[in-house]
Amino acid sequence: MPTPDTLALERSGAIPNSRLPALVYRGLELAADPVSAGQGFAHNGWLGAWRNGIFGYHHFHSTAHEVLAIVGGPPP
């Protein structure tokens, strides 16, 4: 597995970002297509997957971490 880029997100008044860095993995086989991404998430126990869009507004999850795969191209 490739070494991820790490992003330290500063806390702001509106969103209390985690003290842990965001990890960005690029070019993973898991994100080759939407089906592979969903299967990879399920295999790792990351449930509640949805497709087709990213919220256009800021939000946060106060009791959970989030995993996101950005997949290009048309769905199968």
Give the pLDDT of residue 73: 59
Give the pLDDT of residue 76: 53
Give the pLDDT of residue 53: 78
Q: What is the mean pLDDT of each run of 10 residues along the chain (76 residues)?
A: 88 80 87 86 84 82 82 63
- Say if CB 65 and CB 44 are below 8 A apart: no
- Say if CB 18 and CB 66 are below 8 A apart: no
Give the pLDDT of residue 75: 55
Give the pLDDT of residue 15: 80
Give the pLDDT of residue 40: 87
Rg of the Cα trace of the chain? 14
